[in-house]
Structure formats: C-alpha cells, structure tokens
Chain A
Amino acid sequence: MSDGPKKIINKITKGFAKHGYICSDQISTAVYLASELEKPILIEGPPGVGKTELANTAAMYFKKELIRLQCYEGLDESKALYEWRYGKQLLYTQILKEQMQEVLEGAKGLRESLGRLMKFEDIFFSEDFLETRPLLQALTSDKGSVLLIDEVDKSDEEFEALLLEILSEFQISIPELGVRVAKVKPLVMLTSNNSREIGDALKRRCLHLYIPFPDAKLERQIVQARVPEISESMQIQLVNFVQGIRELDLKKQPAISETIDWAKTLILLNSEELEAKLAEETLNILLKHQQDIEVVKKEIPALISSATETSDGKSIN
C-alpha cells in the first residue's frame, strides 16, 4: 500500500486533465477501479458526453496502445476476433500436393507412408495463417493495451455472447488452435448509447459507469480546457446558456462536444458577449434538429438574460 485509493484517484483526475479531459470524481473512480480490479467498464450516457474520448485519454494516460473496435450490425468473429488467410491456405494445399511426392519417396508399403505423413508438419491451421483482428490483437499485445469496444449496442446479440469469454477470462478460444490467454490483461472499455438493452450477462461482467450531462461547474472547466482562448465572462455565459437549453423539452439535447464546437465558433466570430442575434444565427451548431431550433429560438431572450444575470452574480462574488 504505497498510495491510498483517494490519492491515486486524484492523480488520475489530474493526469486526465493534462491530456485535456476534465472528469468528475465518479469517472476517475471508475477508471481507478477498472485498472485495479482488472475488470472491463461499460460506459453509458447520452451521445457526445465524451465516452469514446475517455478511452482515448485513458490510453494516453496509461501510455498504452489504443485498440478500437467499432461495432455495427452484422459484425462477426471474422472481423472482430481472427480470420484465416484463405488465399495462402489454398496455396499451401497446392504446395503440399507437390511436396507429397518428396515426402513419400522410397517409402515401402502403406504403413510406412502413413508414418511419414504423420511426421510431416501440418501448419494448415497455425499462427502462420492467422490474421489477428482487434480483440485478439488486444490480448496478444506484449505491453498491454486499452481496448475500446465502441457502441456495443449497435452489434447483434450473438456478438455480445462472443465478448463474454474475453471480458471475464481475458482469453479467446480458437477451435483450431486452442485457448489464447492474454499476456497482459488489457483495460477494456465498452461504450453504449442504449439503442438496445445490453444483456444482463454482459452487464454483470462489467463495471458500469453512467456519464450524464455535466453540471455547470464541470462544463465550464471542460470548455476552459478545450477552448483556452475564450474569455471568462463569455465562457460563463455560454455554459449557462447551454445548461438552460438542456432544461427545455428537446428531441436531442446539446452535448459537451456541441458546447465546445459552439465556443470555438464564437471565438472565430470574434464575439466578446453573448448576443441574441449571434446566438440565433449560430444555433444550428448547438442543435441538430430544425424543430429544436424553433423551440429554442423563442426562448433565446430569456435564456440570455438569465445566463448573463447569473454570470454577473458570479463575478460580484
């Protein structure tokens, strides 16, 4: 016991911040536990709250290679686990036929031929013809890796079942070769947007982290880290404005990535203050549905006045 868990968690928070990822205590606790207990984390949350980014940052923080597997419907083991190099395998059978003559030359009787044939090395199913895919790569990596299985909810249920062995035992069974166990256990992160309910079996094997939209304080820190050139008053107004929008009834709430994009846009347009006209013109960066834009447009004056009001209050304090 060199460091208490609290210290390590703080270290993770700071280390992540250095790589530009501002995280809440909840997130850093999850990363800490995942690396200590060597368990995969299932990360859920609305789109754009930085689920994928978390894995990227974790890879940078732990100085490990990031191996990413993007899931989609129809993803199967030949794309995720391993594949045989069929072309070469077929060529091998051709060569084998020619070689056969040499091997069997001078053999007397069937028994002897058979004996020679048995001694002959068979490499049809061997590492030589094995093409590794992301999951197997993550297991065979010598230095350990961060394995990101992105949007696991997009894949089929069969694929989920395929993951179970890897997630609980960190091993893959290849029928032709036997079980491949991880040299160094990778840090596994799965993300999901909840477009489909993830099975209980998978959930049970994972730690579960839910990343919600950040509160105003955290979001301000994130904007500050990602868009450092923004002025403080602008940053406060902007975040308050976005937080206000999230309280409206919208089809798709603006996420952190959208807030950052918007902040960058406003910097590009050289604006110092959040004005109604400007906000209205650039609203399409924040919102992706025309209906949402219509809803928010009506609320702009109120949102801006409350955003600037609270920012004034803050600056007095």
Chain B
Amino acid sequence: MEKVLTDFVKALRNSNVRVSPAETLDAMSVIDEVGYDDRDLLKRSLSIVLPKTPDEKQKFDTCFDDFFSDEIKEQVPVTLKELNDIEDVKSDLAKTLLEGSQAELMISIADAAEASEIREIRYFTQRSVFSRRILEKMGVGKLEDELMQIGSLREEDIPTDLEQELRNQLTGLRERVSDYVQQQFLLHGDVSGEQLREQVFKSMNMSQIDRSYMHEVHSLVRRMAKKLANLHSRRKKNYRRGKLDIRKTIRENWANQGVLFNLSWSYKKVDRPKIYVICDVSGSVGAYARFMLMFLFSLTEVVSKLRAFVFSSNLGEVTDEFKDSNLDAAIETALQKHGGGSTDYGQALTDFVSLCIDEIDKKTTVVILGDARNNFGPEKAHLMKIINERSKQVFWLNPEGKYRWDSGDSVMTTYSAYCTKVFQCGNIEQLERVISTLLKTAI
C-alpha cells in the first residue's frame, strides 16, 4: 500500500505541491491511523499533513480526486455466449480480449506502455500520442484489419455477433488505455505546465514575452525578488544603546565578582539596503519598459527603503504610486505619466540630482535601468560623476545585448565610466543574477 502513497506524493509534486520526505512519513502514520477505507476521511486527513498553504490545498483537492478516481474502468465483460467462432479469430489481441482475464489485459497494457516509454510523458498534449502508441504496440492494427476482413466477408448489412463483440471490446480497450495514460501523466508529467512555462520565461528575452503572460512572469519575478531580499536583508549590527541585555551582561561580568562592569545591549540594528532606482520608459525601450517597471514594482514590494523614479525626458518619482496600487495600475500610471516620449538622459539626470542628491549618501545604491540611447542629446556625464561620488555604488542595467552598446545613439561607454558595475539584463535569468549581486552589495 505504501506504493500508492508514494505514487500519490509524486503526483502531488508534479502538480506543484511541495512535499518533503518527512511529510511523506507523516502521511504514512496518518494512513496508519485512518486507513484507506473511508475516502472522505482519507482526503481530509491527508489535506492536513501534505499541503501547507491554501493554494496548495486547492491543488491537493484536484490532484486527490484525479488520482483516487474510482479506479480504472473495468473492461466490458464479454457478452458473447457461444464462442464457437473463436477459432476463427486470428490476431493475438482479439484472443486476449475475448478469452483473457482482466489481469492479463492490464499486464499487457502496462507492458505496451513500458515499451512506448510512457515515463517520458511531460505535457498534457502528449496524452493522445501515447495512447495511440500503446494501442499500436498491443496490436490494434492487426485487430482492425481483421475486423475489416470479417466485415467484407459477411453477406448481410447487420454485423455478426462476433464482429459486434470485438468492436465493443475495442472501444472498451481504448477507454482503458486512455485512463491509464492519464494516470501515468499525473505521475510523470508536468501537470500544471508551470515548470515548462517558467523555464521558457526565464531564458526568453523580456521584450519577446507576450503581455498576456505578464502576471505569471510577475509572480516569478516577485518570488525571486522576495527570496533574494530575505536572504540579504538580515545582517545585524550590535549597537551601543537601547535596552540592556541583562542575561549577557551578568554572564560576562560573572568573573568580576558580579560587579556589572562591561555592559551588553540587546538592541540590534537590522541593515536594509537603501536603493534608488531610475527607470527609462521612453519609446526606445518601449518593449522592455513594462518588464523593467514590473521588476521595479517587485523590488518596491520587497525592499522597504527603495525610491523609484521613471523618465522619458523629465524625471518623476513613482514610489508612492507603486506602494499603494497593484501591478497593472501602477505600470499604467507610470507609462501614462512619463512614458513613450523621446529619451533625454541629460535632462533626467539633472532632475534626479536636483531632486534628491542630498539624500544620497555612502549607504545608498543607485540603479539605472535603460539602454543609454540619448538621441544625440547632451550627455551631462558630469552629473553621473557626482552621483557616483556621493553614493556607495551605481549599477546600470541595460536590456540590450552587449554587441549593440555604443551603436547609433547609445552612449553606454560614456556613462559606464561612472558606474560601479554594468550588467546586461535582457531576460529573467540575467535579472536574477543582477538582483543577487545588488542585494548582496547594497548593504
């Protein structure tokens, strides 16, 4: 019976419910308690042990219903009484269908499935292909030929009993095989298709991803940003003020005959990165703008001390809009207010410097998202120099491939001279790497 559970756990993992081995063991002891007899009770009990978020509970429900659906359908019993014609049947499959037991048939399905490498099934679109392969391996072709022959031999229009029976059996077999494939798909396939999508999204150029997938990409980016921010935002420093840590103090002064000489403080300061992000949303980065804004939005969600600015030519702050509204609204407002115009980095830098140069200190990281295509306008690189000098570090993320930098009106080299580091950031994988570096060093 343990195989049933481990198979079910496998199916759960395939539908993106995370189940650890320890939880599988828990599930086993739960089954020891409640047994397999009562389906409802089993479902309720397992739903307490295996899925651990409301979202996972939902997936668990569907997966459970699919997996423990009322077993595979029984093959239609043979109704033909006198099997005197059976000698006439030539193909093996027909013989098994008419004479063989349920178990024999099941085994031959499983064998055929094994031979057609059912383990390789990944996507739900492959189900019909695998069903057909299994049927072929079982010799459905021969059976069909034989049926044709029998049909052509008969004199009347009404099919003989044998023919009718064989046809019924064949339909039954087809259903059984397709059920079998469905079950195997639950076990081996990527049921929700999420893994595939994420894989594709990650390596796809951001400007190529269709807008309709934006939400999925967003959840991907957000998860990433959250993970990274959690990882890097917990550095602590001991401070020389705040509450006295009595336990530690006594511990340390025990040697001084209990005279409290060296004091320890319990207050610890959590360092969080202070980040200023400037995002280009002008026409030249039109295709990327949405994704850059999405990235920006995700960052504002996870990093508390972050200020976000967008510009085409004139620069504006969007921190509050991003913090208060949802993704779609935030991106729309940002694009409406500032987007689509012709780029002027010089003007944007001027605005940025006049707006908040005083706040930039040695703890601040400045991130610029843009293609550095300046329409041959004044570069005002000296402003970059000021920003660079005042801040801890300046990062530039360019969505264009490196080979296009400095081509045409791009002035990447001029600006990159004043950047701590320059990244190419065209797809989500690259983005992940960038965020990691960013958060590691921004503290």
Chain A residues engaging chain B, CB cutoff 8 angstroms: 5-6, 9, 25-26, 29-30, 33, 36-37, 39, 41-42, 44, 76, 78, 83-84, 86, 89-90, 93-94, 97, 124, 157, 200, 203-205, 207-210, 212
* B54-A5 in contact (CB<8A): no
Q: Given known contacts A5-B33, A29-B41, A204-B52, what 6 new A-B pairs fall within 8 Å (CB)?
A: A5-B41, A25-B40, A37-B26, A86-B247, A207-B49, A208-B48
Residues of B within 8 A of A (CB): 18, 20, 22-23, 26, 29-30, 33-35, 38, 40-41, 44-45, 47-49, 51-54, 57, 234, 246-247, 250, 254, 257-258, 266
CB-CB nearest 4 A-B residue pairs: A93-B258, A208-B52, A203-B52, A29-B44
Across-interface contacts of B41 in A (CB, < 8 A): 5-6, 9, 29
Q: With the chains together, A200 CA to B22 CA distance in Å?
A: 12
Other-chain contact of B54, A42, A83, A200, A210 (Cβ < 8 Å): A210
Closest to B51 in A: A208
A90–B258 touching, CB < 8 Å: yes
The answer, among B33, B54, B246, for a CB contact under 8 Å with A36, is: B33
15 A-B contacts (beta carbon < 8 Å): A25-B44, A26-B44, A26-B47, A26-B48, A29-B48, A33-B49, A39-B26, A44-B54, A78-B247, A84-B250, A89-B258, A90-B250, A93-B258, A94-B258, A208-B53
For the complex, give the distance between the alpha carbons of A84 and B258 in Å. 14
CA distance A210 to B47 in the complex (A): 10
State A94–B40 Cα separation when bound (angstroms).
67
Bound complex: CA A208 to CA B29 (Å): 15
Q: Which of B22, B54, B250, B266 contacts A86 (CB 8 A)?
A: B250
B22, B234, B250: most-surrounded residue (chain A CB, <10 A):
B250
- Measured between beta carbons, the chain A residues less than 8 angstroms from B54 are 44, 210, 212
Q: Which residues of A contact B22 (CB under 8 A)?
A: 204-205
Shortest distance in angstroms between A230's beta carbon and chain B's nearest beta carbon? 30
* B-chain residues with CB within 8 Å of residue A26 when the two chains form the complex: 44, 47-48
What's the Cα separation between A307 and B260 when bound, in Å?
70
Residues A29 and B45 in contact, CB atoms below 8 Å apart: yes
Q: Which residues of B contact A90 (CB under 8 A)?
A: 250, 258
A36 to B34, CA, bound (A): 11
Interface of B is mostly: helix
Bound-complex Cα distance A205 to B23 (A): 8
Name the residue of chain A whose CB is nearest to the CB of B30. Answer: A33
- A209-B23 contact in complex given A89-B250, A97-B257, C-beta closer than 8 Å: no
Q: Cα distance A208–B30 when bound, in Å? A: 13
Bound complex: CA A248 to CA B146 (Å): 63
Q: Hey, which chain B residues are within 8 Å of A157, CB to CB?
A: 234
Neighbouring B residues of A97 by C-beta, 8 Å: 257
Q: In the complex the two chains form, what is the Cα distance from A200 to B51 in whole Å?
A: 12
Set of chain B residues within 8 Å of A30, measured between Cβ atoms: 48
Measured between C-beta atoms, what is the minimum distance from A109 to chain B in Å? Answer: 24
Shortest distance between the CB of A307 and any CB in chain B (Å): 27
Residues of A within 8 A of B247 (CB): 78, 83-84, 86
Q: How far is the CA of A93 from the CA of B254 in the complex (A)?
A: 9
> B51 contacts which chain A residues (CB < 8 A)?
208
Report the Cα distance A142→B315, complex, angstroms. 68
Q: In whole angstroms, how far apart are the Cα atoms of A200 and B49 in the complex?
A: 13
**Distance in Å: Cβ of B142 to nearest Cβ of chain A:** 51
CB distance from B337 to the nearest CB of A (A): 25
A212 to B54, CA, bound (A): 9
A204 contacts across to B, CB distance below 8 A: 20, 22-23, 52
Question: Nearest B residue to A76 by beta-carbon distance?
Answer: B266
Residue of A nearest to B35 (CB): A5
Task: Please determine whether B257 and A93 come into contact, CB atoms closer than 8 angstroms.
Answer: yes
Q: What B residues does A83 contact at CB under 8 A? A: 247
Q: How far is the CA of A9 from the CA of B45 in the complex (A)?
A: 11
CA distance A200 to B54 in the complex (A): 14
Q: Which residues of A contact B246 (CB under 8 A)?
A: 86
Which of B29, B38, B49 makes the CB contact (< 8 A) with A6? B38
Residues of A within 8 A of B30 (CB): 33, 37
Residues of B within 8 A of A41 (CB): 48
CA distance A30 to B34 in the complex (A): 12
Across the interface, name the chain A residue whose C-beta is closest to B40.
A25
Are B258 and A209 in contact, with the CB atoms below 8 A? no
| Smallest CB gap from A26: residue in B | B44
- Rounded to whole Å, the gap between the CB of B56 and the closest CB of chain A is 9
Q: How far is the CB of A201 from chain B (nearest CB, A)?
A: 10
Closest to A158 in B: B234
**A33 and B48 contact, Cβ closer than 8 Å, known pairs A93-B257, A204-B22:** yes
| A176 CA / B79 CA spacing, docked (Å) | 80
Residue of B nearest to A168 (CB): B22
Contacts of B34 in A (CB 8 A): 5
Give B260's nearest chain A residue, CB to CB: A90
State A204–B247 Cα separation when bound (angstroms).
32
Q: Which residue of B lies closest to A41 (CB)?
A: B48
A25, A33, A44, A203: the one contacting B33 at CB < 8 Å is: A33
- Would B258 and A33 count as touching, CB distance under 8 A? no
CA of A209 to CA of B26 in the docked complex: distance in angstroms? 15
Chain B nearest CB, measured from A46 CB (Å):
10
Q: Which residues of A contact B257 (CB under 8 A)?
A: 93, 97
Q: Within 8 Å CB of A44, what residues of B?
A: 54
A33 neighbours in B (Cβ, 8 Å): 30, 33, 45, 48-49
Distance in angstroms from A283 CB to nearest chain B CB is 26
**A5 — nearest CB in chain B belongs to which residue?**
B34
Known contacts A26-B44, A203-B52: A37-B258 contact under CB 8 Å? no
